[in-house]
Structure 1
Amino acid sequence: MAKAKPYKPDTTLLRSKKGTLLYLFLIPLFIAVILALLQTNIQAFLLNSLAFALFFATAKLSSKGFTQELEYLRSPLTKAPKIPYKTIAAFMLGGSTVFTAWIAGDKPLTSALFLGSIATLGYYLYYGFDPKKDKLDNLGDVSAEFVLETIGEAKTKLSNIEKHMGQIEDTLLYGKLNIAMTKAKNILETIQGDPKDIRVARKFLIVYIDGIAKVTDSYVAMDEDDIKSETKEKLYSLMDNLDSKFDKELERLKNNNQFDLDVHIDVLKEQIKH
């Protein structure tokens, strides 16, 4: 046990794991339920069915926890999960093991408790518990609620725009929108890296992205054959203007970060001199 390494989640493997091993526990329990049913052993059928349900609930909670953790790890700016699904699942696994061994399996209580403890410990060592620390550094005087709400709203709108893009058959317009979305995401990532810029960037996050969302909503609501060529030309021109706006916004944010770095360097030099 002393050589056991602390859990460090790998974001490239987290989605593929998804608690697959937990679902393997269901196989022998499912077989036990079927056998009890075939033997018309009602008590064994009910107990094994309850054990199956407990392990299934544990696996489902774990899946929620893994999804929640993956979102946390991928986001540079977020709060720790409110509901610790993985932690709950770990103790549920221990409780399910105790129930299955002691009640359903008629094992001694001490043995069942030992197996339950091992199950919970094994879960922790393999999967770990839920993240507990908020990733809300470098906020300056901006409130965390304001930052998260603004970024969350922008992400939702970008997601909706991408869904509507799938309905656009005009390849030129789709290509321009795709470029705009790529740049918008880059700007959003830059803001998340330095959320102090959130106030000055709010116009981009709310006005520009909201404008694109309204345009795409109106576009997909119509039959493309009914859209006049003049209207499409206006759209192409609009997207070109937005492309230029996004480039300027990204450059402004980068220059602002460069300015902050220069200030910090100058301050440090002065501190070293004194």
Structure 2
Amino acid sequence: MAERFGGKYSPGNSRTEGGPGVAPAPGSLVRSKAAGRARALFLPPFLFAALAFKGEPKALIMGLSACGILLLSAWLTQQGVVALDAYDARKVARRPAIPRKAFGAVLMGVGLAVGAMVAQPMIYAILLGLAGVILHVGAFGLDPMRDKGMEGVDSFQVERVARAVDEAEALLAGMKDAILRAKDGALEARVAKFSGIARGLFRSVESDPGDLTAARKYLSVYLMGARDATVKFADAYAQGRDPKIRNDYETLLGELETTFAARTQAMLQGNHTDLDVEIQVLRDRLKLET
């Protein structure tokens, strides 16, 4: 296994990602300004809900319907913005299977039209709905319309790379969700830094897949082990908040970061010496740690 990690992010060091003067980890997913605007869309629907209770039964039904449609529009838009941020961050990415922002724009127009029909003629309600669609598209744009891949690489290889990155992202998401149970902001930042390093390596794999089968196997073992260790740590630490458990977990993260980067770079350069042996040793180590 690797030597004990002793860099600036080693256990006991108070500087964590997100703190003063610390730059975001390479490869970390940066949220766009559109993400903040998307969150603001959840507020206006409740105005229709509030006004609905001040009119006749027809106004109540239409006002609540408008509120529900607009909330669904806001949720789809937010999900579309998140998907676009992930799409932009990757060098190899598939277009979203569902055009969430487009559906969000249409529902925005429908919701505004339904809400406006409570007090306005249908023609004005329709015009308001069309204006809502146009403004939504202007504010958030449309979803990516095509896959993004690498020049000179066949579509099957691009699909394999994209699928491998999706699987790795799912493991990182599970790791992030698990550490929230520990209720420790410093550890959440530590896991965010680990995720940023991992994503930086995803970008390397996307640029030069090399032996994707070996890389995929290695990445999955590392990230699955890190996720499982995080799940078990969070459950144990939440009960007694034992500082020894916390230190052991941070030490494991540090060692994973070091060996993760070194071995992945070696694989990208075509060095697969003793890879199967190292994977088995890693599995045994992670099993012991967890």
Same-fold status (TM-score > 0.5): yes
Q: Which residue of 108, 113, 117 maps to 2:130?
A: 117
- Distance change >3 Å, CA 216–CA 42, structure 1 → 2: closer
Match of 1:105 in 2: 119
Q: Which residue of 103, 108, 128 maps to 1:93?
A: 108
Q: Alpha carbon RMSD of aligned pairs, Å?
A: 4.4
The normalised TM-score by structure 1 is 0.63
Distance 2:42 2:193 in 1: 42
- Deviation at 1:46? 2.1
Match of 2:204 in 1: 190
When Rg is computed on C-alpha atoms for both structures, the one with the higher figure is 1
Matches within 5 A, 1:169-180: none
- Deviation at 1:216? 6.6
- Deviation at 1:123? 1.1
Distance 1:12 1:178 in 2: 17
Matches within 5 A, 1:1-274: 11-21=31-41, 23-27=43-47, 29-36=48-55, 41-101=56-116, 103-107=117-121, 109-138=122-151, 140-141=153-154, 143-160=157-174, 184-210=198-224, 243=258, 246-250=261-265, 253=268
Q: What secondary structure, in the 3-state scheme, does the structure 1 residue paired with 2:54 have?
A: helix
The 8 Å contact of residues 95 and 148 in structure 2, kept in 1 or not, is answered as: yes
Letter in 1 for 2:81: F
Q: Deviations along 1:169-192, whole A, 9 cap, x unmatched? A: 9xxxxxx99998765443322112
Q: Deviations along 1:216-263, whole A, 9 cap, x unmatched? A: 7787888999x9xxxx8xxx89x869845742542563x57xxxxxxx
Give the unaligned 5+ runs of structure 2.
Answer: 1-29, 185-189, 271-290
Q: What secondary structure, in the 3-state scheme, does the structure 1 residue paired with 2:145 have?
A: coil
- Distance change >3 Å, CA 152–CA 24, structure 1 → 2: same
Letter in 1 for 2:137: Y
Q: What secondary structure, in the 3-state scheme, does the structure 2 residue paired with 1:143 have?
A: helix
Distance 2:161 2:37 in 1: 32
How many residues align structurally? Answer: 232
Distance 2:170 2:140 in 1: 30
The 8 Å contact of residues 197 and 257 in structure 2, kept in 1 or not, is answered as: no
- Deviation at 1:211? 5.5
Q: What secondary structure, in the 3-state scheme, does the structure 1 residue paired with 2:128 have?
A: helix
Distance 1:126 1:241 in 2: 41
The 8 Å contact of residues 175 and 227 in structure 2, kept in 1 or not, is answered as: yes
- Distance change >3 Å, CA 208–CA 97, structure 1 → 2: closer
The 8 Å contact of residues 78 and 148 in structure 1, kept in 2 or not, is answered as: yes
The 8 Å contact of residues 138 and 196 in structure 1, kept in 2 or not, is answered as: no
The normalised TM-score by structure 2 is 0.60
- Deviation at 1:124? 1.0
Q: Deviations along 1:64-110, whole A, 9 cap, x unmatched? A: 22222222223332111111121112112222233333x32241x33
The 8 Å contact of residues 180 and 246 in structure 1, kept in 2 or not, is answered as: no
Letter in 2 for 1:125: G
Distance 1:210 1:151 in 2: 13
The 8 Å contact of residues 15 and 67 in structure 1, kept in 2 or not, is answered as: yes
Give the unaligned 5+ runs of structure 1.
Answer: 1-9, 170-175, 257-274
- Distance change >3 Å, CA 76–CA 115, structure 1 → 2: same
- Deviation at 1:63? 2.2
